[in-house]
Amino acid sequence: MATKGNKLKDLKVVDLKDTSGKKNELQQRLSKVMRENGEDPDTYEFEVDGNTNELKKELEQRLRDLESRLDQTNVTKIDSMDQAEALDSEHACMNEDRPSEVMVDSSIINQGRSQIQADEPIGSYQTNRKALIKPPTFDGKTSWVTYMTQFKAAAKANGWTAPEKATALIVALRGDASDVLQTIPPQEQTDYFRLIKRMEMRYGHAHLEQVYHTQLRHRLQTKGQNLKEFETDIARLVRLAYPTAPETFLDQLAVQTFVNGLRDNDTQQALREDIGDNKFSLVLDESTDIKVIKYLGIVIIYYSNKQKQVISYLELASLESSTADAIVTSIKSTLRKHNLSLAWGGNSHALSEYEVLCNFTGSWIEWSGTEMPRSAYVAGVSEVNQELMYVGRAVIDGILKVGKIHPSHGVTYIGQNGREIAFSNYEILVTNPRDAEMRPGASSKIETPDKLEYQFIPNNTGFVQFRVRADHDAHVALTVSAAECDPMYEVFFGSWNNSKSIIRKNRTKPDVAEANTPAVLNPGEFRGFWIRWNNGTITAGTEGNYQPILTYTDSEIVPIEYVGFCTGWGATGSWIVQPAGPPSAAPSAPMPYTGGPGAFGPVCWVEATSGQVPPNAFVGGEDNGEPMYVIRGKFNDGLIPGKLLSSHGCSYVPWGGEENGLNTYDVLCDFNGDWVDCSGGNIPPNSLSAGESEDGEPLYVGRVLHEGSMTVGKVQQSHGVCYIPYGGKELGFPEYQILVTRN
């Protein structure tokens, strides 16, 4: 249908003429003809065919071309009518240089026009006109709570369903965070709520609070960080680590952490130098809020040598109780940290008259704590309460110096450059070097020469466990006193050129028990043994084996009080004797375990506490010559494999980035297995499944040689590493050894 009202300048090529030519040329030719016929081309109104098939066809084609170039993840919202008008304008400009003979089916135009007017997509190719908001990625290094706030906002704006949200979240995971997918079966990865639950367990508040606790404990002021920046960071960590704690607790913890963070050597040294020889005074304030940890506020007021004025220094010390003794102990401990002393101002004093220790036969042994060795040499008394003083020594600035030991302080004080320096680990002068073997909670290390003379330590517990490195003839005596006297028993390991072992009573033959034990000793490595005595029965065996190799029952009940060690007949020995303690309970009957690779029959787990080691415990590694046993313990809703060093009095499991101590644990006993090299998540089919994580994933026993220690830990397949507890931290290693059962 023709329409009227179009000016000459508005006419398009298709409206001007059926012959080809550019628009301006055709307009000029038409204008010339009209003027020759007496018509004014500037005011004349032309009739134009209303069929715009060619325009609509071009519009649809241009829409297709434009949409093909759009990023599927970032579609810009353009109103359909605006698209049509914009493309119509583009088409109009383009038509200035194209032929006009194009015919299309009018039904397409009618359909397109109706769709545009109805605000519907033009054709089946039209994409969603709504803008898609792309959520950020997550690699586990940023806050999970903050990330989920952003993700949920994007999901709501996009109108995603639960499966779509699961897909978007999976695509957004990066780095360590993507490892969570390995713990979810593929058919369940579209379960958005299950996926969120796994991520919450790994990166939510429960996990991050442990991380924040660790960061808070070890937070120190960094070099170049001013006090305001340090205070702000402490306040942030306190609230992240204890999100539900009362404000009073948070405030006190923030102050304590802030003060502790300033206690580096430079700060301590600076405070001591600033006080110098000047007097100082203390102002004390004890907290009374029973809902929180009790603290003692200690303000040190002194004349500053640097600022030339009286200033104060705040120290916040925790209190075990509100007793006078606890307060005094806290004050002394605080002053020692800064090398200050109430009695003598922390100064060393020159004396013109003194006494010299002469004609003394004694030894230096390593020591620490407030309980002194029985044979410690008493050298004087303190000025307060007449407390006994002992002789100690420590290395300071590369020089071994002698000083005094104040037992109630738990340190030795050494004079240096006019000051009194405290050391919590030191050597003490004793008359009997064997006192070193009686140090509480420590393994005894004994060197025995080629001399059949026993070195005794007290033990009336009915059980002794030790390791020895010797060529042959490692002898152990069970006696009623610290001497070789009847009645007594002797157990010889590796006698007769390392071929057999025996039990002998009262140093006379015939031997009461004998067994062939070829190569039971080794001069190049420590070998473990145990001896048990109870109601006249003596049993002896090798480490890791519950069944004894020697057994003897005597009708006479001998009250054993001491155990002695020696070597001879051409052999010397190095011994590591576990601390004396009550014997652990007999191992329970083997119990089958299930779950994961390695469920190949019965495995014996024996419950123990406080560093106890069952006689058939499985040795998985060693630390400085001390055997390390395989254990597992309950921690944070999981059953976690870990390590046991008896001298520490507890076991350790790795979890949450930390080395976590457990007083109660299960010890792997009577186990017949091997260690094999492994890496990543490649778990051998006969690996020992020793526990499970808090979300039910099987955990295996692994070990790693780290800084000279063969340390036992856990293997978590989904993480592809072996975690070991070491130095207060949880350390991960992709290359490790894993414990497997023998088929």
Place of tokens 């002393």: 341
User: Which DSSP letter does residue 291 get?
Assistant: T
Find all residues with CB under 8 Å of 574, minimum gap 6, and list them: 445, 446, 447, 448, 468, 469, 470, 526, 625
What's the CA gap between 510 and 507, in Å, rounded?
9
Kindly indicate the confidence band of residue 598, based on its pLDDT and cuts at 50, 70 and 90: very low
pLDDT, position 649: 81
Most confident of the ranges 171-175, 297-301, 489-493? 489-493
What's the CA gap between 55 and 103, in Å, rounded?
10
Q: Which of 729, 680, 731 is nearest to 705 (CA)?
A: 731
pLDDT, position 344: 46
The better pLDDT of the pair 565, 99 is held by: 565
Integer distance in angstroms from the first to the last C-alpha of the chain? 93
What's the CA gap between 266 and 280, in Å, rounded?
20
Element at 692 (helix H, strand E) = strand 689-692
Contact 659, 727 (CB under 8 A): yes
Phi-psi region of 417 (alpha: psi -120 to 50; beta: other; left: phi over 0): left
Identity at 167, one-letter amino acid code: T
- Give me the domains of the chain, ranges plus CATH numbers: 2-117 (no CATH), 144-203 (no CATH), 263-347 (no CATH), 363-436 (no CATH), 441-577 (2.60.120.560), 591-741 (no CATH)
pLDDT, position 318: 67
pLDDT, position 83: 46
Kindly indicate the confidence band of residue 86, based on its pLDDT and cuts at 50, 70 and 90: very low
Kindly indicate the confidence band of residue 564, based on its pLDDT and cuts at 50, 70 and 90: very high
Contact 641, 634 (CB under 8 A): no
What's the CA gap between 525 and 628, in Å, rounded?
15
The better pLDDT of the pair 358, 80 is held by: 358
Contact 293, 252 (CB under 8 A): yes
Q: What percent of the chain has a predicted confidence (pLDDT) above 90?
A: 22
Q: Please return the burial class of 611, using the count of CB atoms within 10 Å of its CB with bins 0-12, 13-18 and 19+.
A: buried
**726's tokens:** 């070491």
Place of tokens 């407030």: 370
**Can you count the helices (H) and strands (E) in the chain?**
14, 39
Q: Which of 197, 200, 198, 192 is nearest to 162 (CA)?
A: 192
The better pLDDT of the pair 286, 34 is held by: 34
Arithmetic mean of pLDDT over the chain? 75
Segment among 144-148, 602-606, 718-722 with least mean pLDDT: 602-606
Q: What percent of the chain has a predicted confidence (pLDDT) above 70?
A: 67
Rounded alpha-carbon distances, angstroms, from residue 264 to 220, 223, 252, 270: 8, 11, 20, 10
What's the CA gap between 189 and 535, in Å, rounded?
62
What's the CA gap between 126 and 66, in Å, rounded?
11
DSSP 600-665: -SEEEEEEEETT---TTBPEEEEETTEEEEEEEEEETTEEEEEEEEGGGTEEEEEETTEEEEESEE
Most confident of the ranges 77-81, 129-133, 614-618? 614-618
Contact 663, 624 (CB under 8 A): no
The better pLDDT of the pair 400, 442 is held by: 400
- Mean local confidence (pLDDT), 235-240: 81
Segment among 141-155, 334-348, 377-391, 706-720 with least mean pLDDT: 334-348
Q: 573-577 and 411-416: which strand pairing? A: unpaired
Kindly indicate the confidence band of residue 442, based on its pLDDT and cuts at 50, 70 and 90: low
What's the CA gap between 18 and 3, in Å, rounded?
18
pLDDT surpassing 90 at residue 714: yes
The better pLDDT of the pair 150, 125 is held by: 150
The overall pTM is greater than 0.75: no
pLDDT, position 163: 85
pLDDT surpassing 50 at residue 241: yes
pLDDT surpassing 90 at residue 531: yes
User: Which DSSP letter does residue 577 get?
Assistant: E
In tens, the pLDDT along 335-360 reads 666 656 543 445 555 665 678 888 77
Rounded alpha-carbon distances, angstroms, from residue 596 to 632, 689, 690, 713, 734: 16, 6, 10, 18, 20
Most confident of the ranges 163-167, 406-410, 650-654, 694-698? 650-654
- Please tell me whether residue 668 adopts helix, strand or coil conformation: strand
Q: Omega into 510 within 30° of 0, i.e. cis? A: yes
DSSP 77-143: P--HHHHHHHHHHHHHHHGGGS-S-----HHHHHHHHHHHHTT--SSTTPPP-SPPPPPPPB-SSS-
Element at 505 (helix H, strand E) = strand 500-505
Segment among 182-186, 265-269, 651-655, 738-742 with least mean pLDDT: 265-269
What's the CA gap between 267 and 309, in Å, rounded?
19
Element at 689 (helix H, strand E) = strand 689-692
pLDDT surpassing 60 at residue 398: yes
pLDDT surpassing 60 at residue 333: yes
What's the CA gap between 341 and 402, in Å, rounded?
19
Phi first, then psi: what are they for 386, rounded to 5°? 50, 45
pLDDT, position 84: 42
pLDDT surpassing 80 at residue 608: yes
Kindly indicate the confidence band of residue 187, based on its pLDDT and cuts at 50, 70 and 90: confident
- Mean local confidence (pLDDT), 53-77: 51
What's the CA gap between 635 and 631, in Å, rounded?
13
The interaxial angle of helices 192-203 and 162-172, nearest 10 deg, is: 40
Rounded alpha-carbon distances, angstroms, from residue 303 to 118, 251, 264, 334, 358: 87, 29, 22, 19, 44
Residues in the chain: 743
Q: Which of 711, 732, 693 is nearest to 182 (CA)?
A: 693
Contact 113, 56 (CB under 8 A): yes
The better pLDDT of the pair 108, 190 is held by: 190
